[in-house]
Structures are given as structure tokens and as C-alpha cells.
Amino acid sequence: MAYEIIAKVAQPEGLLPMAAGWDAARARLDGLPGGGLNVAHEAVDRHVGAGHGAQTAMIWLGREGARRELTYADLAADAARFANVLRSCGIGPGERLFLLAGRVPELYAAVLGALKAGVVVSPLFPAFGPEPVRARMEIGEASVLVTTEAHYRRKVADWRADMPQLKLVLIIGETAPEDCIALGPAMAAAPATFETHPTQAEDMALLHFTSGTTGLPKGVVHVHEAVVAHAETGRLALNLRPGDIYWCTADPGWVTGMSYGIISPLCNRVTMVVDEEEFDLDRWYTILERERVQVWYTAPTAIRMMMRAGDGAAKGRDFSALRFLASVGEPLNAECVIWGQQVFGLPFHDNWWQSETGGIMIGNTAEMDIKPGAMGKPLPGIEAGIVVREGDRVVEQPDGTIGELALRPGWPSMMRAYLGQPERYAKCFAGGWYLTGDLAMRDSDGYYWFVGRADDLIKSSGHLIGPFEVESALIEHTAVAEAAVIGIPDETAGEVVKAFVTLKAGFPADEAMERELRGHARKRLGPAVAPREIVFRDSLPRTRSGKIMRRLLRARELGLPVGDLSTLEGDPK
Amino acid sequence: MTPSDPRAVFIEELIAVAPDLEAATIDDNDHLQNELGLDSMDFLRLVSALHKRFDLPIPESDYPRLASPAKAVTYLVEKLAT
């Protein structure tokens, strides 16, 4: 807290405060004409109905330099075509559609079209390897997959026969492998109108996967009612106003790219910039400048990469269109907030949320002074606290004390279940609180400061990685006896995954083996999840009950106090 | 001392970062991220390894010039000659 507070920037006229609270937010939406609530209707059809069909909804920037504009009317028609494709293939409301593709226009049509048809959407990160893809599709009981031929061949084709409930694979493009349908011709043949399925507020809309410390990933269930929070928090925490040019750099394969890269901006009738390409310094500065981006939502990893390039790369550029910068995914260090001021003349506004909350809960809004390094204050309608679990009891902590960040349940985008795992869901709630698993502290001004995870989950480039999933993939290798996975600090990604492995007798612990195992893990898990570093040990520290003590490995790795070792079996350093 | 065969060194460091790749199947025109599946953290690690091996500063503004093995080798040869 050694940094000076950055005073709020005066807001242009026309951004006057509106009535706060979820009821007021709900009233700003339409609802379906015949009753009910549907995300796609609020995001697109509503605006077309109100005469905004000609407004640009998306500026799509292709990898090789293509630039395409789609209006709200275009998006509505594409969504309707996609919904018709699903219906003509016999896919009904409530079935689950998975997405595995890059940021191409078809992906957006698929999300909106599926929601329109009452089909549940579950996005997958395109950098996942075959194992995370398969695990999530099995847990989520996928009926439909929308993907590209390359992803399909690499990650799905080998095991498709083992998953009979997967009825339909739609391949983006004009041709498709056997047993799949090419989406291009199917869309072209489908009618451009579709009557939105009368979904109700509590019908399942989205299924996001999040990692657990033990066991398989959890399917986080969100309902159509979540759109109330998506729309409202975009207005409150991201300062979105109709007609804004807005760029969210997150991929829709993660929750940020779905909530704030598709639903929230469209509900707020902005023009979204969508870039197919990954981070590229010059490209990003050029997009900000040329597309006259007004509101920009990005992540600390990207900001740090831009910072490292120095201010020179940004020199001479015109960022005068920018009005609001925001960041999410992991704590934004104070240096980044201040760098934003130097380069863009605006500070980054950090905010906090997670898959389970569905939308931004805590943030630095335009109306607030910023304390660099703090994640902000609870948004209107959100009650937060810092608590400690004591058995079945939950005790609130005073300001200045570190504890678990907790929220009072009841906001519209709160998860409604972990799919098929009621006991794991129930464990998230105690004493009238939803317990987030994040450690934080509140200062005397009411600002919240992120401290770390309360569990063994690893936060790398803003994404949660469950050590169990990584360990399981390593153990599948014939040479590996046991594995333990932790996060170690990294100046760009926040944390990176490191694995400690013991080998079976007869296998050499050498560099070739290290590469072999990393290669094995990358093939199964993809680069985002696989360990960046593997070290060999003769044995791993275990509790007397046999559980590997990741916490001890991490403490030793980082030179931290090792804490209570009374349950440690032996001391295999 | 700088290595004499930039392509061999580049491929060696690429595979050290992404050991799921096989040298024989890498096409010189493959895009590191789109075709070879590197993510941005992989790319940064590769740049850092090249920086060490060639004792060559590689500013961020030059990163697009490392987008494929062919481009990277051209870039490295050019830089090493100056």
C-alpha cells in the first residue's frame, strides 16, 4: 500500500448513475415476449427489435489481416440459422453443446444460437489437449460439439466412439470428416429466423468448468437469470455504454471471454472488437489505436508483457479514444496500474470474480478512487466479508485481518450447482455465506486486497489449474511412480506449474526423461495446463494417511515457513 | 561464441520448450502458435533461451519476426551478421 491513491477520472456527461439493485437491473432487460428470460434474446434480438439492427455488433479481426463487421441484425440472423441447424439435427432444449474453436464469427453464432434454442453452452479452451477436453465433455454429457477439423482430428476423433451420447459434431468450414457435419453449408441452408425457446430464468444456460484440488473438474452451472448480472456488472464495473467500442481480450473458452467477451457487451449494445490472434505487442497497440477502442478489458499477464516491452513501443500512438481500462484474472500489481497511467493516461481498474460467481463481484469502478494493487470494493447489490471457518461456524474477521473472501448468496449469476456433485456444492456454503476459496483482506476504507488461494489450486495466466488433473496425466506415463504439482511464482504468468516426480525402478532421472514427461503432459493436457518444469525426487513428502503434502513442497521450494509437520511421514527432502 | 547452425539451435530450443514436438515433423513455415501449438508463455521461454544461446538481445518489437522456424532463422542470421 505504498502507492498513492489515484483519484477517479471525471466521467463524461451522459454517464449519469442509474437506479441500483438487481430489481432495477432486471427491469432494464426485456424478458421474452411470451414470458421467460433468455440470454440470446437480451444480447441480440432485443436490440434488433428496438431498431438497432444496423449497429455494428462485432468487428472481427482475422489472423491474416481480414476485417469483418457484423451488425446486430447479422448476428441475430446467424444465431437463428444456427438454432435451426441444431433443431433440424434433433437437438432439443436442455441438451449440452460444447465449443472447441478459436475466436471466429461462427463461434459467436453458435453461442447465441444455442442459447436461443434453449441448448446449454459449455465453452472449452482451444489450447486444451485431448484429456481435459474429454473429461469435461464426459462430465457435461455433451450432445453436440462445435469445433474445427484440426481440433477434431487431434483431440476428439480417437475417443469419439467411446462417447455415444455425443450425437452431433459440427465442423466450422465447408467440409467435414466422416460422421461430422460441415457447419458452413448447414448454416447457408437454414432459415434466418427462429422463435426463441421460452427458457425460464432458472433454466440452465451455461456450463463452465473449473478445476478442483482433488478429483475431476467441476461443471459450474449458470442459468438464464445470470444475464441480469452480466448486463448490469458490465455497466457498473466496465463502464459499458451503448455504442461504445469495446475490446475484451479473453478467450470465450474461459468464463471471462463468455461473460464479458460475448454476453455482457452485447446486452449493453456495444460494438465488440474480436481478435482471432493471440497476444502480439504491435498488433494490440494497433488495434487499440485504429479501432478507436473506448473500453478495454484485459489481463495482468498481457499487461506485464506490454510493460516489459517498454513505453517506446507505444510512443507516437493515439489512444485518445480510450475511456476505461479494466483487468481481471489475477491480482494486478500496483506497477501495472501506474504503467497504464503513463502509457494510456488512464489507470487499469482491477476487478475480482470467479467461474462460480458468473460475473464481477468486486471492482474498482469509474466512480471510485483507485488504490493501486487493491481489487476494489463490492459492486452495488453484492455483500462481501472476510471470514474464517471454525468447524461448522463461520466467523467474520475485522478490517486488516487476512481470511477467506466470502459473499452473501443470492446475486443473479451465482452458480446454481456443480453438475452432479451436490456435496461439493454444499461445501461452498456455510453460515449464510458463499465461501470463495480465495484469501483476502479488507482495509479500513472498505477496499479488498487479494492474498492468495486458500487451497492448492494454481493460478497461471489468470486460469485456475487443478494439481490433481496434472498429476493424473503424469502418473499415466509408464516411468512415473508418483507426482505432485504446485504453482511457483512467475513474473509474467503470476504462477507456473511445476511438477515433482518419482520414477519407477529402472528409469533414469535425466534430462531426456524430463523432456519425455513434459512432452507427454503437453500432448494430454495442452500447454496451458502442462508443467513448465519437472524435477525428480527419490520420494515425496506424505502425510501419515498417505496424502502428498503439496503445501510442504511449495514452502520448501519458496523458502517459506513449513508450518505444522506433525502429520508428516518421515522426512524425505 | 555463437552457434554455427542457427536452424539446428532454434529447433533444439523449440523442442526443449515444447517436447511434444518432433523435429522431423516440423515444417519451417509452421506458425509457432497456430500450427505448433505453443502458447504465449512457451514463446517467451523460447525467446529467452535463444537470447542466451546466441547472446543476442531480442526486443519485443521483433517477436513477430520469430513467428515460424523459417522467419526466425532469417532473423537470427541477419542479427548475427551485424
Beta-strand pair A403-407/A384-390: antiparallel
Asked if the Cβ–Cβ distance from B38 to A532 is below 8 Å, we say no
Query: Which of A133, A148, A154, A279 should be substituted to probe chain B, the one whose Cβ sees the most B Cβ atoms within 10 Å?
Result: A279
The domain made up of A457-558 is a member of CATH 3.30.300.30: yes
CATH topology of domain B6-81: 1.10.1200
Please tell me which of the candidates A63, A281, A532 has its beta carbon nearest to residue B61: A281
pTM for this structure? 0.87
Alpha-carbon gap, residue A513 to A502, rounded angstroms: 12
> Which residues on B lie below 8 Å from A286 (Cβ)?
none
Nearest to B41 among A310, A496, A518 (CB): A496
Q: Which residue intervals of A238-376 are DSSP H helices?
A: 255-258, 264-267, 281-290, 300-308, 334-344
> Are B60 and A63 an interchain contact pair (Cβ–Cβ within 8 Å)?
no
DSSP secondary structure string, A533-567? EEEE-S---EETTS-B-HHHHHHHHHT------TT
Contact state of A281 with B34 under an 8 Å Cβ cutoff: no
Nearest to A300 by CA among A250, A261, A259: A250
The residue among B20, B26, B34, B65 with the most chain A CBs within 10 A of its CB, best to mutate, is B20
Q: Which of A223, A251, A303 is nearest to A493 (CA)?
A: A303
**Mutation to test the A interface, candidates B17, B60, B61, B66, most A Cβ within 10 Å:** B60
A220/A357 Cα distance (integer angstroms): 10
> Which positions ≥6 away from A541 have C-beta within 8 Å?
A548, A549, A552, A553, A568, A569, A571, A572
Residue of A nearest to B20 (CA): A519
The CATH number of A68-219 is which of 3.30.70.580, 3.40.50.980, 3.30.70.100, 3.40.1010.20? 3.40.50.980
Which residues in chain A have their CB less than 8 angstroms from residue B45's CB?
A: 532
Q: pLDDT truncated to tens, each residue of chain A (573 aa)?
A: 457 888 887 665 555 556 678 999 999 999 999 999 999 999 999 999 999 999 999 999 999 999 999 999 999 999 999 999 999 999 999 999 999 999 999 999 999 999 999 999 999 999 899 999 999 999 999 999 999 999 999 999 999 999 999 999 999 999 999 999 999 999 999 999 999 999 999 999 999 999 877 778 999 999 999 999 999 999 999 999 999 999 999 999 999 999 999 999 999 999 999 999 989 999 999 999 999 999 999 998 899 889 888 778 888 999 999 999 999 987 888 888 889 999 999 999 999 999 999 999 999 999 999 999 899 999 999 999 999 988 778 999 999 998 999 999 999 999 999 999 999 999 999 999 999 999 999 999 999 999 888 888 898 888 889 888 899 899 989 999 889 999 999 988 889 999 999 999 999 999 999 999 999 999 999 999 999 999 999 989 887 766 788 888 988 888 877 666 666 665 544
Question: Is A104 an 8 Å CB contact of chain B?
Answer: no
How far apart (Å, rounded) are the C-alpha atoms in residues A79 and A58?
14
How do the domains of chain A map onto residue ranges?
A: 68-219, 457-558
Q: How far apart are CA A373 and CA A333, in angstroms?
A: 5
Contact A515 B19 (CB under 8 A): yes
Tell me which residues of chain B have a C-beta less than 8 Å from any C-beta of chain A.
15-16, 18-21, 33-34, 37-42, 44-45, 59-61, 63-64
